[in-house]
Structure 1
């Protein structure tokens, strides 16, 4: 298993959790972004910079993802593509996207996009909380523990 990170939108605190987990478990961690991402000096952590453009980083992540790989993203279309390739998708809030929940999440996203296009203010996501960080760390640990079995 490799872990890919949609790094342009990933909160710094989540990257820190990922850096520690990758080192602890010696799991390959690849951050993909259209800008330079600072990473610790490590044999298991790397950063790949892609060209700027709509979905360029997402497309690269989907290209790299293989069955059983984990992708860290809150981008629902990217999560859907990863799941369709047989990968796992985990949000920075600790929500594991699955074949059972991704379609309804995409439908809600599309509905909210339509509402915003009509002038309705739908608000944005709440700031990342301590419980979100804990949920992410716990879910990541469960996924990495299953990998070792």
Structure 2
């Protein structure tokens, strides 16, 4: 059982380390730089070269059943779900075989709408304490499930 974190712009890295350490899970914090490495022996900071989706490719090539992936990147989430991993968004929302198709379709629709209206301002809502709490609960449940499945 390993935890993979798509760490660029991830607001829950500290929470992943806290819960992952309690479960004694190997954690991979993957980014293209700018992160302070953790002193935790269970955490490996992986710095990938600059480039589009390089961190995503690194994670997608390694993840498998029994692993947990933390990402807000929907195409990466789809690849990880296909590989058999449990996937959580930063707000604790699970991405599964049952919902990833709809989430991808919504993402594509929103991309098209933004492209059609270059003056569209704003975006998603901010990250809240409730989001952080939901994430902690979801990660705890995901790790327990991974342990029970024998990963």
TM-score tier (shorter): over 0.9
Over 3 Å counting, the alpha-carbon distance change for 1:100 and 1:122 in structure 2 is farther
Aligned 8 A contact 1:93 1:132 in 2: yes
Listed one character per residue, the Cα deviations across residues 66-117 of structure 1 (whole Å, up to 9, x for unaligned) are 2221110011000000011111110000000011111111111111111111
In 1, the alpha carbon distance for the partners of 2:147 and 2:77 equals 23
Listed one character per residue, the Cα deviations across residues 30-71 of structure 1 (whole Å, up to 9, x for unaligned) are 001001422331221110000000000000000111222111
Q: Please give the root-mean-square deviation of Cα atoms over the aligned residues, in Å.
A: 1.3
The yes-or-no answer on 1:127 pairing with 2:126 is: yes
Aligned to 1:76: 74
List runs of 5+ in structure 2 lacking aligned partners: none
The runs of at least 4 aligned residues of structure 1 exceeding 4 Å deviation read: none
Aligned 8 A contact 1:68 1:87 in 2: yes
Q: What displacement does 1:148 show?
A: 3.1
In 1, the alpha carbon distance for the partners of 2:66 and 2:122 equals 34
In 2, the alpha carbon distance for the partners of 1:147 and 1:89 equals 12
**Please, which of 17, 28, 31 is the counterpart of residue 15 of structure 2?**
17
Asked which structure has the greater RCO (Cα within 8 Å, sep 6+), the reply is 2
Partner secondary structure for residue 108 of structure 2: helix
Q: What displacement does 1:23 show?
A: 1.6
Aligned 8 A contact 1:32 1:50 in 2: yes
Aligned to 2:110: 112
In 2, the alpha carbon distance for the partners of 1:125 and 1:93 equals 12
TM-score (norm 2): 0.92
List runs of 5+ in structure 1 lacking aligned partners: none
Partner secondary structure for residue 126 of structure 1: coil
